[in-house]
Amino acid sequence: MSMPEAAAPSASADRSALLESLRWKKFPVLDDGFVALVDCMGEDGSVVQAARVSYGEGTRKVSDDRQLIRYLMRHAHTTPLEMAELKFVVRVPMDCWRQWIRHRTASINEYSTRYSLAIDSMQSTHDDEWRAQAANNRQGSGDFLPKSAGHKLTQSEMELQSFARRVYEERLEAGIAREQARKDLPLATYTEAYWKIDLHNLLHFLALRMDVHAQLEIRRYAETIGQQIVQPLFPLVWEAFLDYRVDAMRLTKLDKGVIQRLVAQSGQKGLPASQEHFLEAQDPSWKPLERSRERDECLQKLTTLGLVK
């Protein structure tokens, strides 16, 4: 096996300068949160190098780095992406952190309130940031409430958080163990953690948490990690990630069947089809249902593609 070619001195120096400019730089998120890069192992070339070991000699003549990375992403060949790793330190509200650590493909070391005092900071909600429950999604948000309605909620939030912190500190002053004194702190309390993850699993995290259906708070963290850190460090991977994951569209077998039936009807009815014609072409399994999320998702896809109006 031949050794990989060394990077040109100028390119290596530029890369080192970029990495140093990002390391330990705190990118603010929410009102008192942040993400910071601690270290990074690898770059676009690391992904290419790992892939070419698998493909053997001669690959460089057939495909340049960008084309190869795009091929890997397009066909979900993810192992080469695991050759790069990033380590972050994050400050995040505990309720948001609960969602974060559902991604079990990272190494985590969290700030411990058994050994140390809880961070004296809680996420606050401004008057215009309160969101109504979504009407058609049990775990999602709907529209923002009017600022006038949110003012009272913000005031009561401030009172609750202040009271909870005072109770916590009174317990500590009374000699109560930190592990017990903390139990009534709100989920809005910030925590900090080191989070190390390979590039493949990081992109999976970002694809899910940057999605419009993700909770807004964790979406802000994902967007910051992706745009401020991953994009400059892995520009070719990031470009392919946007093209083939974030901005791509997945068509199911049932979706394709609807498209085929609409195209078959287009000779008489033309495209874009009406929603009435879409309902005529829908999958038979959706027809008995008064409400079908899958049907709604298919309609949204075909409307985006301009096949239904």
pLDDT digits (tens, 9 = 90+) for 131-162: 999 887 777 888 999 999 999 999 999 999 99
| pLDDT, position 137 | 73
Give phi and psi for 243, each to the nearest 5. Answer: -70, -40
Q: How confident is the model at residue 61 (pLDDT cuts 50, 70, 90)?
A: very low
Confidence of residue 266 (pLDDT cuts 50, 70, 90): confident
Is position 138 annotated as part of the catalytic site?
no
pLDDT in tens, 206-232: 999 999 999 999 999 999 999 999 999
Cα dist from 230 to 32, 83, 86, 91, 176, whole Å: 22, 15, 9, 18, 43
CB atoms within 10 A of CB 67: 13
**Residue 56: pLDDT band with limits 50, 70, 90:** low
Is the pLDDT at 296 greater than 50? The verdict is: yes
Average pLDDT over residues 46-56: 83
Residue 162 near residue 189 (C-beta atoms within 8 A): no
Give me the pLDDT at residue 138, please: 73
Residue 1 pLDDT > 50? no
Written as six digits, the tokens of 113 are 């309130």
Tell me which of 52, 91, 209, 220 is the catalytic residue: 209
Residue 86 has pLDDT above 60, yes or no: yes
Tokens of 252: 């199911």
Could you give the CA distance from residue 150 to residue 152 in angstroms, rounded to a whole number? 6
**How is domain 9-115+188-246 classified at the architecture level of CATH?**
2-Layer Sandwich (3.30)
Q: Which residues make beta-bridge pairs with 33? A: 29
SS3 at position 89? strand
pLDDT tens column, 241-260: 999 999 999 999 999 999 99
H/E element, 201: helix 199-209
Q: Are strands 141-144 and 85-93 parallel, antiparallel or unpaired?
A: unpaired
What predicted TM-score, i.e. pTM, was given to this entire model?
Answer: 0.90
Q: Is the model more confident about 13 or about 173? A: 173
- 216-224 and 199-209 helices cross at what angle (nearest 10)? 140
69-98: average pLDDT:
96
Rounded average pLDDT over 293-302: 95
Looking at residue 139, its pLDDT comes to 76
Question: What are the structural domain ranges in the chain?
Answer: 9-115+188-246, 131-184, 253-304
* pLDDT higher than threshold 80 for residue 4: no
**Mean pLDDT calculated for residue range 11-19:** 90
Predicted pLDDT at 221: 98
